[in-house]
Amino acid sequence: MADSVGPELKINRANGDKCVLPADEMRKDHMKHLKHQRDETMHDGIRTKQFSLKECINCHANKDEADKYIPVNAPGEFCQSCHAYTSVKLDCFECHATKPRDTAFHPIVTDKMKAFADVHDAPETKSMLDTIAKKDGAK
């Protein structure tokens, strides 16, 4: 009987029909795609779903017996399992949600975001800001 050298790789499959790219490409390059998405979103104000961390979580989070979502970074869950197996630190969730939420919007709206929406006449950004403001009770 062979002894285990490291953590067992236990990957639970996605809940959707297919990932945004073939599995072998996502295994190899998912961090490149996430970083690119981060840069487009944070620096350019461009929000898309294809490589959105929120969409990854929506698809890869599992539910427990009580029908409650299990965080993707919990032991044995999708993100944590692969990162433990490859000895890569998983720090995305120090800021990001680990399971699906009812809303995609962060409760804090900065003046920089508002200025971006005005300067670039970005209707999707203005719509997002209006939604956040309504949620927070602002006028």
pLDDT at 124: 55
Residue of 104 and 99 predicted with greater confidence:
99
Considering the domain architecture, whether residues 32 and 83 belong to the same structural domain is answered as yes
3-class secondary-structure state, position 63:
strand
**Are 89 and 57 contained in the same domain?**
yes
pLDDT of 64-97, one tens digit each?
999 999 998 898 888 888 888 888 888 888 888 8
136 within a domain of the structure (yes/no)? yes
Of 46-60, 90-104, 114-128, least confident by mean pLDDT is 114-128
| 67 in the same domain as 123 | no
Tell whether 114 and 77 lie within a shared domain. Answer: no
Assess whether 49 and 110 both reside in one domain: no
Its domain, for residue 118, covers 105-139
Q: What is the pTM of this model?
A: 0.58
Using an 8 Å Cβ cutoff, are 51 and 33 in contact?
A: yes
Has residue 1 been placed in a domain?
no
* Beta strands, E only, 4-126: 62-63, 69-70
For 9-24, what is the mean pLDDT? 74
* Alpha helices (H) in the chain, listed in sequence order: 23-44, 53-60, 78-85, 111-120, 123-135
Q: Do residues 90 and 124 both lie within one domain? A: no
- Residues 93 and 110 grouped into a single domain: no
> Is 13 in the same domain as 80?
yes
Average pLDDT over the chain reads 75
2 lies in some domain: no
* Structural domains counted in the chain: 2
